[in-house]
């Protein structure tokens, strides 16, 4: 083993690895599945995108200052909101504002608690930790956010009768939508619960594998993985909670009326 703990990967090595893509494309053509060119095209996209990210990270790491790191994190949040918007078909009123705020607070808050208050990152913005950490957290929160928003919209439409009956019986809008919000919350949390329960048995998580590959002691890598799963679960839960809190409200006005009541016709 080398001192750095990792075997350097040269460009010819990379070319060799890329040969496997050519093999895959050739097999796809042989099968006549029509995926030969799409496969090559997406492989090229992967190369270009990863190289771009690599240089961007290299650049941001070299700057050694907080604003570029924060800017990058904000861009990530922006992309996350766009991704959630693309995934969710029926969107609540004020969708972008609510999802953006929820991801920003839900992911930013939990990541900050972990990086600054728990492991005491110095400097607090150290991009080598903060960027990959936030990336993983946002990636998972996106799934939670999509599930929460999509499910809430579905429940609000499906439970229209229940909600209006509750309003007629004197419920506030929040009380009337409680069951709808509850099942959306449940849906958003299921992946995190399942992932934690299956962790280490069904799959070895990517971050831990990566750390082991780069020479970290397995026990330390495991500790990191446990910590990151806690941060992820915390952020998914907080993000979903915020989306449902503000999302539920967005379906009603201050007079406990359902907005856009045209649906009952």
Partner 1 sequence: MATPVELLLNQVRKENISRNGQTVEILKGIDLEVMSGALTVIVGPSGGGKSTLVRLLNRLEEPSGGRIHFCGEELRAIPVLELRQRIGLVPQKPFMFLGSVLDNLQLPFHFRHQTPPRADDPKLLLIVQRCGLEAAWLDREARSLSLGQQQRVSLARTLLPGPTLLVLDEPTSALDRPTGDRLADTLRTICRDQGLTVLMVTHDLRQAARIADRMAYLEDGRILESGPAGELLAHPRCDELRRFLAGTAGEEEP
Q: Which is nearer to partner 1, 221 or 249 (CB)?
A: 249
Radius of gyration of the chain (CA): 23
Least CB distance to partner 1 at residue 258 (A): 7
Residue written as token pair 């989306």: 243
How many helices (H) and strands (E) are present in the chain, helices listed first? 10, 0
Q: How many CB atoms lie within 10 A of CB 45?
A: 10
Least CB distance to partner 1 at residue 254 (A): 9
Q: Which is nearer to partner 1, 1 or 168 (CB)?
A: 168
Q: Which of 176, 179, 184 is nearest to 252 (CA)?
A: 176
Q: Which of 34, 17, 16 is nearest to 25 (CA)?
A: 34
Whole-angstrom distance, CA of residue 108 vs CA of residue 125: 12
Least CB distance to partner 1 at residue 246 (A): 21
What token pair was written down for 240? 């979903």
Least CB distance to partner 1 at residue 130 (A): 45
Least CB distance to partner 1 at residue 156 (A): 15
Judged by the rule CB under 8 A, the positions of this chain that interact with partner 1 are: 161-162, 164-172, 175, 255-258, 261-262, 264-265
Q: Which is nearer to partner 1, 89 or 264 (CB)?
A: 264
| CB-CB contact of 134 with 227 (8 Å) | no
Q: Which is nearer to partner 1, 87 or 160 (CB)?
A: 160
Q: Which is nearer to partner 1, 57 or 175 (CB)?
A: 175
């Amino acid at each position: 083993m080398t001192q750095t703990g990792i075997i350097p990967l040269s460009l010819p090595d990379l070319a060799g690895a890329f040969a496997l893509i050519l093999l895959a494309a050739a097999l796809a053509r042989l099968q006549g599945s029509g995926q030969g060119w799409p496969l090559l095209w997406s492989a090229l996209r992967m190369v270009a995108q990863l190289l771009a990210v690599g240089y961007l990270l290299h650049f941001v790491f070299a700057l050694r200052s907080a604003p570029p790191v924060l800017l990058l994190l904000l861009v990530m949040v922006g992309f996350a909101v766009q991704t959630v918007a693309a995934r969710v078909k029926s969107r609540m009123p004020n969708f972008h504002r609510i999802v953006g705020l929820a991801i920003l607070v839900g992911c930013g808050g939990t990541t900050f608690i972990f990086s600054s208050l728990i492991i005491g990152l110095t400097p607090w913005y150290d991009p080598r930790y903060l960027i990959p950490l936030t990336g993983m957290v946002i990636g998972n929160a996106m799934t939670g956010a999509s599930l929460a928003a999509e499910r809430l919209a579905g429940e609000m439409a499906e439970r229209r009768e229940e909600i209006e009956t509750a309003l007629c019986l004197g419920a506030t809008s929040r009380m009337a939508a409680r069951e709808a919000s509850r099942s959306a919350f449940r849906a958003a949390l299921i992946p995190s619960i399942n992932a934690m329960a299956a962790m280490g048995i069904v799959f070895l998580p990517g971050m831990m594998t990566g750390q082991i590959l780069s020479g970290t002691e397995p026990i330390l890598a495991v500790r990191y993985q446990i910590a990151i799963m806690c941060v992820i679960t915390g952020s998914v839960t907080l993000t979903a909670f915020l989306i449902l809190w503000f999302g539920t409200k967005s379906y009603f006005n201050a007079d406990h009326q359902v907005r856009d009541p045209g649906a009952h016709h």
